[in-house]
A and B are shown apart, each in its own frame.
Chain A
Amino acid sequence: MVEFAKKLVAVPEIPMQWLAVAGTVTGFGWLLLQDRIHPLVVYCMQLYLSF
């Protein structure tokens, strides 16, 4: 029944991994802008991005 309904309305596959990455990056970015991330963590992030 569910399969039949899916075929009828063509429910798109939800890209969970993409959503999780986007959510994490957005959340971290927001905390960064609010100065709620320790400078050592910011330094490590910058170092990680450099490689």
Chain B
Amino acid sequence: MSADAVLREVTLTLPMSADMEVQASQSASALARSIAMSPEKIDEVRLAVVEACINAFEHSHADDGRVDITFSVLGRDDEPHSLEIRVHDTGIGFAPETLVEPMIADKLKSNRKRGWGLKIIRGLMDEVEIDSGGHGTTVVMRKLR
């Protein structure tokens, strides 16, 4: 995947405010359509982007209150084959390996009902990498065309 060239790239910087994730999902959708991705896959990409943005909004606690999203079309010889999306925040970070999946019975009693965002992202995208630490968090997601 690393030998692939970036054929097109779009960068968005979004404030962490209500419904901003919709902007990100629309951009993802437009770029995915431009490489003739199937409508089903486009919907999956949109959903993954929304979840990644909401995760950043809710959990990053970034001082600058913004999320940087980079959409890249990857390919070889001008032939696009995948869409890569990087969602980056400069928040407090977390340790992905220590993240425990919530239990549904506990969530029924809890006030906070979300918590399956990363599971949804991993299920919808073909590749997911998470780099997180004191510098912030970057979630890299890839979907083959």
Identify the A interface with B (CB < 8 A).
25-26, 28-29, 32-33, 35, 38-40, 42-43, 45-46, 49-50
In chain A, what residue has the closest Cβ to B114? Answer: A46
Assembled-state Cα–Cα distance A49/B108 (Å): 7
Set of chain B residues within 8 Å of A50, measured between Cβ atoms = 113-114
Assembled-state Cα–Cα distance A28/B28 (Å): 31
User: Could you show 24 A-B contacts with beta carbons less than 8 Å apart?
Assistant: A25-B104, A25-B108, A26-B105, A32-B101, A35-B123, A39-B47, A39-B119, A39-B120, A39-B122, A39-B123, A39-B124, A40-B47, A42-B116, A42-B119, A43-B51, A43-B116, A46-B115, A46-B116, A46-B120, A49-B107, A49-B108, A49-B114, A50-B113, A50-B114
